[in-house]
Amino acid sequence: MLDLEVVPERSLGNEQWEFTLGMPLSQAVAILQKHCRIIKNVQVLYSEQSPLSHDLILNLTQDGIKLLFDAFNQRLKVIEVYDLTKVKLKYCGVHFNSQAIAPTIEQIDQSFGATHPGVYNSAEQLFHLNFRGLSFSFQLDSWTEAPKYEPNFAHGLASLQIPHGATVKRMYIYSGNSLQDTKAPVMPLSCFLGNVYAESIDVLRDGTGPSGLRLRLLAAGCGPGLLADAKMRVFERSVYFGDSCQDVLSMLGSPHKVFYKSEDKMKIHSPSPHKQVPAKCNDYFFNYFTLGVDILFDANTHKVKKFVLHTNYPGHYNFNIYHRCEFKIPLAIKKENADGQTETCTTYSKWDNIQELLGHPVEKPVVLHRSSSPNNTNPFGSTFCFGLQRMIFEIMQNNHIASVTLYGPPRPGAHLKTAELP
């Protein structure tokens, strides 16, 4: 049985690990994978057709804990303990829930002190007792009638007419004063772990298509030798097609991984006559997992030839490998009354809406079926790749964008940085 420390408005954990509000999904999954012999039977719950309409949930069924992640930013929003018989809980080092100590209303009063009068929900038959960043729900189905009390006369927990011995059914840890209105906090400095994260990425474009990326980056900077002086740094960097490998390293730092392409599954769709001739050396990717970006370099020139932006939707083959890339892509509209007009495509745009703005793509989609080996099956099914304005949009079966691949201009030397414009 897990023995965990409760920190209101912050975290649930022990000396080995901690689930912290604002923590990105991938870090929570990494904790679960590392301690898989202790924390077993974990479920991932999400809406397959509408992944943005419901929170993404990690359900620790053996331990009675749910971790609720915001559907958009994929950071930890609420920690729910829904079965207190499966876990030991303590506050400031003192247990208030264990096999020997029942989490009664008297025990909560003793451990956490006085708070505002609670709220009774007759539909749920639950009595909610709220502290800042922490709520307890008491089961009242043994009562024959709803609790009756006057707030003017409620001077302490005992005066709220909660029956003696009523025990906690659920506990919630969240940010702020209201569980209903809570939002996932910004990522704590303790979660950066030396990595750089992208707050947003704007796709830059010239007259013909994308020309590069402008990244707004977040990092945990620190003062001279003192962790207490640590604070978040925000800065912007730009990378362009035709930039050298050294240019990208100086702008974004070292990648998490370098991947050398062994084959190009899209090469068969190229009109070039040399498409079947094997290359003498392989192009290579810089994988920036915390940015949600891959950058492809040409094997001969060592210059950028392709960017890949990942949305990290659940139900995709690459889910949880990359952090969600919060991109904005300007798309040129080619309609009768919209010359020179652009519309913005974001991480959350649906393909149907993009097609309505732009008109349907000329070519039919290419069906992409990912698998780790020829004998393995992909449980999530195929995706569809549409070509548009030197970009390939990979679309999932629920109509959401899985990834966007940006291609540079076909002619060498067409790269032009914004700073060089007259």
Question: What is the per-residue pLDDT for 232?
Answer: 87
Q: Does 23 map to a domain?
A: yes
Question: What is the per-residue pLDDT for 150?
Answer: 40
Structure-token pair, residue 156: 């302490």
Please give the residue range of the domain that contains residue 331. Answer: 192-407
Burial of 98 (0-12, 13-18, 19+ CB in 10 A): middle
Please provide the average confidence, as pLDDT, over all residues in the chain: 86
For the chain, how many structural domains are there in total?
2
d(CA 58, CA 65): 8
Do 316 and 347 sit in the same domain of this protein?
yes
The arithmetic mean of pLDDT across residues 323-336, rounded, is: 88
Q: Are 213 and 204 contacting, i.e. CB atoms less than 8 angstroms apart?
A: yes
Task: Residue 20: give its domain's CATH number.
Answer: 2.60.460
Do 210 and 350 sit in the same domain of this protein?
yes
User: Of all helices (H) and strands (E), which one includes residue 404?
Assistant: strand 401-407
Do 234 and 324 sit in the same domain of this protein?
yes
Q: Which of 141, 174, 207 is the last residue of a domain?
A: 174
Do 260 and 159 sit in the same domain of this protein?
no
Q: Which of 122, 144, 174 is the last residue of a domain?
A: 174
d(CA 371, CA 208): 34
Task: Say how many CA atoms lie within 13 Å of 50 toward its Cβ.
Answer: 3
Do 201 and 327 sit in the same domain of this protein?
yes
Query: Alpha carbon of 375 to those of 368, 370, 371, 372, 378: distances in Å?
Result: 16, 11, 8, 8, 10
Q: Does 181 map to a domain?
A: no
Do 146 and 92 sit in the same domain of this protein?
yes
pLDDT confidence tier of residue 142, bands split at 50, 70 and 90: low
d(CA 381, CA 169): 39
Please give the radius of gyration of the chain, using alpha carbons only, rounded to the nearest integer.
Answer: 26
- Whether the per-residue pLDDT at 226 is higher than 80: the answer is no
d(CA 13, CA 23): 13
pLDDT tens digits, 387-416: 888 999 999 999 999 999 999 987 554 444
Do 124 and 258 sit in the same domain of this protein?
no
Question: What is the per-residue pLDDT for 157?
Answer: 45
Do 134 and 203 sit in the same domain of this protein?
no
